[in-house]
Amino acid sequence: MDLSNLGEFGLIALLKKSCAATYSASVVKGIGDDTAVLKPGKGTNVLFTTDMLVEGVHFTKSMSSAAVGHKAIACNISDIAAMGGCPQFAVVTLGVSPQTKQSTVTQLYAGMIQTAKRYNVAIVGGDMVKSSKMLINVAMIGETIGSQAILRSGAKVGDAILVTGPLGGSFRSGRHLRFQPRVKEAEFLVRNFKPTAMIDVSDGLAADLGHILEESRAGADIHAAWIPRNKGASLTQALNDGEDFELIVTLPASQAEKLLRNKKSFSFYQIGTITPRKNGLRILNEDGARVLTPKGYRHF
């Protein structure tokens, strides 16, 4: 059965029912009115973000719809985690053609809902539009775990630079469709340490660390050999492949030592140190010689 049989309002009624499985007491009114009505949390800061996946750019027809749905929700959760936050609510815009199979959409939502439930996110609204290429836009609200968000701008000279997991080859390996956003790692960091800056790796380690350096007006020395790499990933891939969704975090050196000594259930890998701005971003080989820094992924 394709969507033209079910009709727009039929599809909305179906999805409304499925999404209700994600609601908690903080959802006064979910899907089914002009907007969602939500009880704000106790946090002092609201976090607000959005990310879109487009067929042919971020995923292809041959990929599992459930996995694409997972990714659409998880990449927004990852952004909220990278602020030291906890995700709460999402609205979803779906662009589909009338020839899209109903099962494609229900599987997409099943994937979104499973991940939303896992991370306590309620899917509370959305929009539906006609589009020849499938589109999934998610906007998400969260709140900070601590009293302040962890921005990109707080890294200080001497801070250690760490990542939460191995990098590279995410798209080729299909890992970009099944990654788990680092919400627990972010919460652990915020509750036990004082991260000075944090970002998730979506454009590639070099590009995203570059954002921290730009906002913090700092440089960095990265030791190529210290970068944890996924199986089969080259250094170039670990530096430049996007969509790893690991966190890059900077911490005062003494805190990093404590973290690396005491690590329990979470993995953290030091990859380098923040340096003065004039040094720029240097990727060093084992002899301390400089390795070239290629650019991360850009849409155009």
The distance of closest approach from Cβ of residue 11 to a second copy in the complex, given in angstroms and rounded to an integer, is: 8
Which residues make up the interface to a second copy (CB under 8 A)?
3-4, 7-9, 28-29, 32-40, 43-52, 54, 57-58, 79-80, 82-83, 85, 89, 91-93, 95-98, 124-133, 135, 137, 139-142, 144, 149, 151-153, 198-200, 215, 298-300
**Is the CB of 123 or the CB of 233 nearer to a second copy?**
123
Per DSSP bridges, beta strands 281-284 and 218-223 are parallel
The distance of closest approach from Cβ of residue 278 to a second copy in the complex, given in angstroms and rounded to an integer, is: 22
**Is the CB of 198 or the CB of 220 nearer to a second copy?**
198
**Is the CB of 98 or the CB of 232 nearer to a second copy?**
98
**Is the CB of 50 or the CB of 103 nearer to a second copy?**
50
The distance of closest approach from Cβ of residue 288 to a second copy in the complex, given in angstroms and rounded to an integer, is: 30
Residue type, 41: G
The distance of closest approach from Cβ of residue 3 to a second copy in the complex, given in angstroms and rounded to an integer, is: 6
**Is the CB of 128 or the CB of 284 nearer to a second copy?**
128
CA neighbor of 166 nearest in space, from 241, 107, 76, 102 = 241
The distance of closest approach from Cβ of residue 15 to a second copy in the complex, given in angstroms and rounded to an integer, is: 14
Long-range contacts of 286-293 (CB under 8 A, 24+ apart): 286/223, 286/224, 286/225, 291/224, 291/235, 293/206, 293/239
- CA–CA separation, 132 and 95 (whole Å): 8
- CA–CA separation, 235 and 240 (whole Å): 9
**Is the CB of 142 or the CB of 165 nearer to a second copy?**
142
Residue 67, SS3 per DSSP? helix
**Is the CB of 92 or the CB of 224 nearer to a second copy?**
92
- CA–CA separation, 149 and 144 (whole Å): 6
Contact 187, 87 (CB under 8 A): no
Q: Which residues make Cβ contacts (< 8 Å) with residue 119, sequence separation at least 6?
A: 73, 77, 87, 181, 183
Q: What ranges make up the beta strands (E) of 66-217?
A: 85-96, 122-130, 135-144, 160-163, 197-200
The distance of closest approach from Cβ of residue 82 to a second copy in the complex, given in angstroms and rounded to an integer, is: 4
Assigned token pair, 136: 């999934």
The distance of closest approach from Cβ of residue 147 to a second copy in the complex, given in angstroms and rounded to an integer, is: 11
